[in-house]
Amino acid sequence: MDGLRLMKRILKSNFLYLIFATFILLSCKTYNTSILENGDLLFVPAVDSGLSGAINNVTQTEKKTSYDHIGILKKEENHLYVLHASPKGGSQKQKLHSFLKEQTKSGQKIDVYRLKSEFQSSIPNSVSKAEQLVGKPYNFNYILDENSYYCSDFVERAFRENQIFQLEPMTFIDPKTNQTNAFWEKFYTEKNLKVPEGEPGCNPNGLANSNKIDKIGEL
């Protein structure tokens, strides 16, 4: 009888351990970081609401291209970092795992782009430039200035010397109405600013459409 009780306790203990282990495995998402190389560009897919949806609404150029954030991968010895500008923390150097955890809360998969072979030589200088930009605050107005950066602005500046990306006239027009998007109208009115329609700028979707980069996978 004692042996039977002991066996039941062991089985119950093992069952509880199995449930706990399964929970831990399911809650810890893993990423195939083996595909990553220094200077890769990490694009975060947009969601349909809030600032993310508003950015995508006026900048999406192709159905397959729908992004609202971008960062530059930095390989440093055995560590992986992302150089990027974010509302939380400004221009920063963030551990890749932390970046992925923050940027995939809505279940997105991060798209990885890489410079084409003929432009690879620009990567060391561009990554170095990006590190020099770290520490600057986030540009919440999305109007270019030299003292703060938004995400695509940060990346464009890092690669500017080699002309990998280009500034283009910004638009805040809703393609469905041909009028200024209501979100952006309210956004700039509350800041007592004029909607910067036509002023130079950039956005993640525009950068993703550069003919100097290719999508090579996802995380």
150: which residues sit within 8 A by CB, 6+ positions away?
85, 138, 139, 140, 142
The pLDDT of residue 204:
94
**pLDDT given at position 47:** 73
Q: What is the pLDDT of residues 133-164, one digit of tens each?
A: 999 999 999 999 999 999 999 999 999 999 99
| Residue 61 identity | T
Q: Given this model, what pLDDT does residue 136 score?
A: 97
Is pLDDT of 24 > 60?
no
Q: Give the pLDDT confidence of 89-106 residue by residue, as tens digits.
A: 999 999 999 999 999 988
The pLDDT of residue 107: 85
- Check residue 27 and give its pLDDT: 47
- Categorize the per-residue pLDDT at 13 as very low, low, confident or very high, splitting at 50, 70 and 90: low
Band of pLDDT at residue 3, cut at 50, 70 and 90? low
Of 152, 150, 125, which Cα lies nearest the Cα of 136? 150
Domain boundaries, the chain: 34-218
176: confidence class by pLDDT, cuts 50, 70, 90: confident
Mean pLDDT of the chain: 86
Contacts of 171 (CB under 8 A, 6+ apart): 58, 59, 197, 198
* Single pTM value for the model: 0.81
Residue 166 has pLDDT above 50, yes or no: yes
At the top level of CATH, the class of 34-218 is alpha beta
